[in-house]
Amino acid sequence: MTTKTVDIQTTQMSVQELASLIQAGDEVMLTIHGKLLARIIPAQDPPDERILGLRPGLWMSDDFNDELPDSFWHE
């Protein structure tokens, strides 16, 4: 991924040109007088959904969400 820095006070670049850079996989840093205003990165596909029962035999204890005893924290 290439990073492009664009000062919004001086650029002649259009929104379509910025979008083309991002679509090509470039990261765009928007600045005002050299100070970072925003960082735009290409969107990523969401992770695949988790599938119930994918790991048979894996289990979680019934007390998984219970508070831990004080002895756990002070040992």
Q: Which residues contact 5 (CB under 8 A, 6 or more apart)?
A: 28, 29, 31
pTM: 0.57
> Which pLDDT score is estimated for 17?
94
DSSP E strand boundaries for 1-75: 3-7, 27-32, 35-40
> Which pLDDT score is estimated for 38?
96
pLDDT digits (tens, 9 = 90+) for 11-62: 999 999 999 999 999 999 999 999 999 999 999 988 888 888 888 888 889 9
All domains of the chain in start order, with CATH: 3-40 (3.40.1620)
Q: Which residues contact 74 (CB under 8 A, 6 or more apart)?
A: none
